[in-house]
């Protein structure tokens, strides 16, 4: 079990739940970071007393410093401050719970400093999986998944041989609009999209779940974490979110991992593996959860999932374009500036306009992300 962690993105949904796990298990916290929520960051810093905190928005640094005066906590700021927190001394694991591509450089920083990573941030592997996993391998660093589906796959693969795997089956709840027709989808609001049936999460991933882009990003994430080709990664809609994912083997055996839809379970496992620690979280009661059902995903209605498979197939910079365009489109949708169905349209338009670089370096990925976001912004302004 980890004795001490650095937690990047501590004020978000995963961040707060990670601190809950740390509190329960008595894990020390050596660094905390957030983008702008200084009220919560201050409260967390007072409770966990990390030697270092970093705030992404550097205009807030003087205020935070003032509030933490006398506690012996170093206050850093901006992207460099967050990268410094990713490399802080004396931690067993760096938990990356930042949302979006903003998690990429801090993750790389942690790996380059030889720190094991518990990775919640899927956009890191979507945009630069080939770079991140190669860096981790060359430095002997473990990247342990926090995402519930990937945590499930990790557990279902344990003790088996990779060459015996027929396919990975990632489960998806289908989101709040699963049963709707395309015409109804056109009129859904951000408020409706933010009501996920099974999980309580940050706003970006909740919209991604409603469009099913979340599952598309997870297919790409699985490709890099586990090294299987896209044809071996399938998606299965399972509205109850009890089975978190499965692995099918070539002898016809299918191994599944089940649990309550509670992110604290995979978060805890990412900090304790291979140990399993007792906790007070609600237990799965299969009698109460009732019938478990499965459906094929509708990739025509939920076009984002199809676009993610296309981007993975094209490879190179295309997944970064998919991700950047999605981040920009989701932001516009949350601001009420575009409709729900414009999200896949804007992503597809941006992907079509992109000329793929087949072997991008980190700088190319960062550039392409900015380009994709600009393209989406320009398309909406016209």
Query: Which parts of this chain interact with ligand NAD (CB under 6 A)?
Result: 9-15, 34-35, 37, 56, 82, 97-99, 102, 120-123, 147, 199, 201-202, 204-205, 263
Tell me how far apart the alpha carbons of residues 61 and 42 are, in angstroms, rounded to a whole number.
11
35 binding partner (options Mg ion, ligand NAD, none; Cβ < 5 to 8 Å by kind): ligand NAD
15 binding partner (options Mg ion, ligand NAD, none; Cβ < 5 to 8 Å by kind): ligand NAD
- Which phi and psi angles does 75 have, rounded to 5°? -110, 120
| Shortest spacing between CB 358 and ligand NAD, in angstroms | 26
| Shortest spacing between CB 206 and ligand NAD, in angstroms | 8
53 binding partner (options Mg ion, ligand NAD, none; Cβ < 5 to 8 Å by kind): none
Is the Cβ of residue 178 or residue 331 nearer to ligand NAD in the bound state? 331
| Shortest spacing between CB 174 and Mg ion, in angstroms | 13
Interface with Mg ion includes 135 (CB under 5 A)?
no
122 binding partner (options Mg ion, ligand NAD, none; Cβ < 5 to 8 Å by kind): ligand NAD
Strands 254-258 and 243-249: antiparallel
Number of CB atoms found within 10 A of residue 100's CB: 22
Is the Cβ of residue 263 or residue 375 nearer to ligand NAD in the bound state? 263
| Residue with the CB atom nearest Mg ion in the bound state | 147
Mutual orientation of helices 13-25 and 38-48 as an angle, nearest 10°?
10
Is the Cβ of residue 97 or residue 329 nearer to ligand NAD in the bound state? 97
156 binding partner (options ligand NAD, Mg ion, none; Cβ < 5 to 8 Å by kind): none
For Mg ion, how many residues bind (rule: CB under 5 A)?
3
Burial class (CB in 10 A: 0-12, 13-18, 19+), 185: middle
CA atoms lying within 13 Å on the CB side of residue 378:
9
Which tokens go with 286? 């299969």
| Per-residue b or e along 51-77, where b marks 16 or more CB atoms closer than 10 Å to that residue's CB | ebbbbbeeebbeebbebbeeeebbbbb
Strands 165-172 and 143-145: unpaired
| Residue with the CB atom nearest ligand NAD in the bound state | 12
| Shortest spacing between CB 185 and ligand NAD, in angstroms | 22
CA separation, residue 212 to residues 34, 196, 381 (Å): 27, 12, 26
Instruction: Give the contacts of 1 (CB within 8 A, at least 6 positions apart).
Output: 25, 27, 271, 272, 275, 277
For Mg ion, which residue of 42, 116, 147, 262 counts as binding (CB under 5 A)? 147
By CB under 5 A, name the binding residues for Mg ion. 147-149
């Amino acid at each position: 079990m980890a004795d001490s962690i650095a937690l990047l993105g501590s004020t978000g949904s995963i961040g707060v739940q990670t601190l809950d796990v740390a509190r329960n298990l008595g894990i020390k916290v050596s660094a905390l970071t957030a983008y702008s929520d200084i009220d919560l960051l201050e409260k967390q810093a007072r409770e966990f007393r990390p030697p270092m905190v970093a705030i992404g928005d550097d205009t807030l640094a003087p205020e935070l410093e003032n509030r933490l005066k006398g506690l012996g906590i170093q206050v850093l700021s901006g992207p460099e401050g967050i990268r410094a927190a990713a490399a802080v001394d004396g931690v067993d694991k760096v938990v990356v719970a930042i949302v979006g591509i903003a998690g990429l450089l801090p993750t790389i920083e942690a790996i380059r400093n030889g720190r094991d990573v518990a990775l919640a941030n899927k956009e890191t592997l979507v945009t630069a999986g080939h770079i991140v996993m190669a860096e981790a391998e060359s430095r002997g660093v473990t990247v342990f998944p926090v995402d519930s589906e990937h945590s499930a796959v990790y557990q279902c693969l344990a003790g088996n041989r990779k060459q015996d795997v027929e396919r990975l089956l990632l489960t998806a709840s289908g989101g709040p609009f699963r049963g709707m027709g395309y015409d109804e989808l056109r009129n859904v609001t951000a408020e409706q999209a933010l009501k996920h049936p099974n999980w309580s999460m940050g706003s970006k991933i909740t919209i991604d779940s409603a469009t099913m882009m979340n599952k598309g990003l997870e297919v790409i994430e699985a490709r890099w974490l586990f090294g299987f080709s896209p044809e071996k990664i399938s998606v299965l809609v399972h509205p109850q979110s009890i089975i978190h994912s499965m692995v099918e083997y070539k002898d016809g055996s299918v191994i599944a991992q089940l649990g309550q839809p509670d992110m604290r379970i995979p978060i805890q496992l990412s900090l304790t593996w291979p140990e399993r620690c007792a906790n007070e979280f609600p237990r799965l009661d299969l009698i109460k959860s009732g019938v478990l059902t499965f459906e094929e995903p509708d990739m025509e209605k939920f076009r984002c999932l199809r676009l993610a498979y296309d981007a993975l197939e094209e490879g190179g910079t295309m997944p970064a374009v998919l991700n950047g365009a999605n981040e920009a489109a989701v932001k516009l949708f949350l601001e009420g500036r575009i409709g729900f169905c414009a999200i896949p349209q804007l992503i597809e338009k941006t992907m079509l306009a992109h000329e793929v670089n087949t072997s991008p370096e980190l700088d190319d990925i960062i550039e392409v992300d900015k380009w994709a976001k600009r393209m989406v912004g320009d398309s909406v302004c016209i």
